[in-house]
């Protein structure tokens, strides 16, 4: 009989995600020799290699790919079994792993943490900020409990709970503040600053302006909304940012902020979790609280021209 352990599965999952023994060991908070030993033990039990080793990275063998699929299913089932203990009516307790996209986290997450800590003093909140694709993978693999991101994500295994809609606003230099707000067609001809690839907000802005992602000559890129606004302040172009980012990102800058006059671009922010999560009822209630927090933050926004 092969004596697999959850530790074997977790270490192998980390190795597959990181593609490198050192980074996987760091993610698991163990030494690299210890992780290597566990993977080797797993391969010995199976009687075949799970990974192809090289100096810089690893690749899964055919057996490794199949084993990973089954191991992740087991890890998800085990995580949901542990959540059954928390699924009875009553306040949330234990730990709650929250993933938030970068164009939401700095502006909404602090208020969410304050409110949830006040309402659920026995709940340990473990936030993580990353791009949508990474967060969706993590919630599917039970490494996160919920994700706050732009909807829709259109993943059949996930439930989507809309929180609120928010508009995008135009940020440009003070010298241009008196000029009419350009139409989406006009924006195509201007120096538009956008987030780098991987951010869903970039895709939403491109869609509003009807710009093909394959037309980089029209665009300049930044790694964060803060970088984009600072680039506008330096006279390098103009950009779009979500309303909730205005107070923080335009502070101490010489830029103007304007709403679009018609066909105002917007996004829906929502909460996402696995449909099989036994905490579904509590998460619905949690979503209602976060919706209230989001509404309260939006009511504090300054008037925009």
The bridge status of strand 58-60 relative to strand 51-53 is antiparallel
Choice between 196 and 133, residue whose per-residue pLDDT is larger: 133
- Of all residues in the chain, the percent with pLDDT exceeding 90 is 44
pLDDT over threshold 60, residue 299: yes
Place of tokens 């990181």: 18
- Domains of the chain are 6-84 (1.10.10.10), 90-305 (3.40.190.290)
Per mean pLDDT, which of 157-166, 175-184, 292-301 is the most reliable? 157-166
Helix pair angle (32-46, 6-18), 10° resolution = 110
CA distance linking residue 201 with residue 190, whole number of Å? 19
User: What pLDDT is recorded for position 97?
Assistant: 93
- Please give the mean pLDDT across all residues of the chain: 87
pLDDT of residue 189: 80
At 19-63, the pLDDT tens digits run 889 888 998 889 999 999 999 999 998 889 999 987 778 889 989
pLDDT-derived band at 225, boundaries 50, 70, 90: very high
- Please, which pLDDT band fits residue 274 given cuts at 50, 70 and 90? very high
118 pLDDT exceeds 50? yes
Mean pLDDT of 267-287: 91
Assess whether pLDDT exceeds 50 at residue 65.
Answer: yes
Q: Which pLDDT score, from 0 to 100, does residue 217 have?
A: 47
Question: Does the structure show a pLDDT above 60 at 214?
Answer: no
DSSP characters over the chain:
-----HHHHHHHHHHHHHSSHHHHHHHTTS-HHHHHHHHHHHHHHHTS-SEEE-SS-EEE-HHHHHHHHHHHHHHHHHHHHHHHTT-SSS---EEEEEEE-TTTHHHHHHHHHHHHHHH-TTEEEEEEE--HHHHHHHHHTTS-SEEEEEEP---TTEEEEEEEEEEEEEEEEGGGTTSPPPPHHHHTTS-EEEEPTT-HHHHHHHHHHT--TT-GGGEEEESSHHHHHHHHHTTS-EEEEEGGGHHHHSTT--EEEE--SSS--EEEEEEEEETT-TTHHHHHHHHHHHHHHHHHHHHTSPP--
Does residue 74 have a pLDDT over 70?
yes
Q: CA dihedral defined by 203, 204, 210, 214, rounded to 10 degrees?
A: -10
pTM of the model: 0.76
pLDDT at 85: 58
């Amino acid at each position: 009989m092969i004596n697999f352990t959850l530790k074997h599965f977790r270490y192998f999952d980390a190795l597959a995600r990181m593609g490198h023994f050192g980074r996987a060991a760091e993610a698991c908070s163990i030494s690299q020799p210890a992780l290597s030993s566990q993977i080797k033990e797993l391969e010995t039990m199976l009687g075949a290699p799970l990974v192809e080793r090289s100096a810089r990275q690893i690749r899964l063998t055919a057996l490794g790919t199949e084993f990973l699929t089954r191991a992740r299913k087991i890890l998800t089932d085990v995580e949901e079994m542990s959540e059954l203990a928390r699924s009875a009516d009553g306040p949330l307790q234990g730990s709650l792993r929250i993933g938030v996209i970068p164009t939401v986290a700095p502006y909404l997450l602090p208020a969410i943490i304050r409110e949830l800590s006040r309402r659920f003093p026995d709940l340990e909140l473990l936030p993580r900020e990353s791009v949508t694709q990474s967060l969706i993978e993590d919630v599917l693999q039970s490494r996160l409990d919920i994700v706050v991101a732009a909807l829709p994500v259109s993943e059949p295994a996930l439930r989507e709970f809309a929180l609120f809609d928010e508009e995008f606003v135009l940020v440009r230099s003070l010298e241009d503040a008196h000029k009419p707000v350009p139409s989406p067609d006009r924006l195509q001809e201007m120096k538009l600053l956008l987030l780098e690839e991987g951010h869903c907000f970039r895709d939403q802005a491109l869609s509003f302006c009807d710009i093909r992602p394959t037309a980089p000559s029209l665009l300049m890129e930044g790694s964060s909304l803060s970088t984009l606004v600072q680039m506008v302040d330096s006279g390098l172009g103009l950009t779009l940012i979500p309303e909730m980012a205005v107070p923080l990102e335009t502070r101490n800058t010489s830029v103007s902020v304007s709403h679009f006059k018609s066909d105002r671009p917007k996004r829906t922010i929502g909460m996402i979790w696995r449909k099989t999560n036994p905490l579904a009822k509590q998460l619905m209630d949690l979503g209602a609280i976060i919706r209230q927090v989001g509404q309260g933050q939006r009511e504090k926004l300054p008037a925009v021209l």
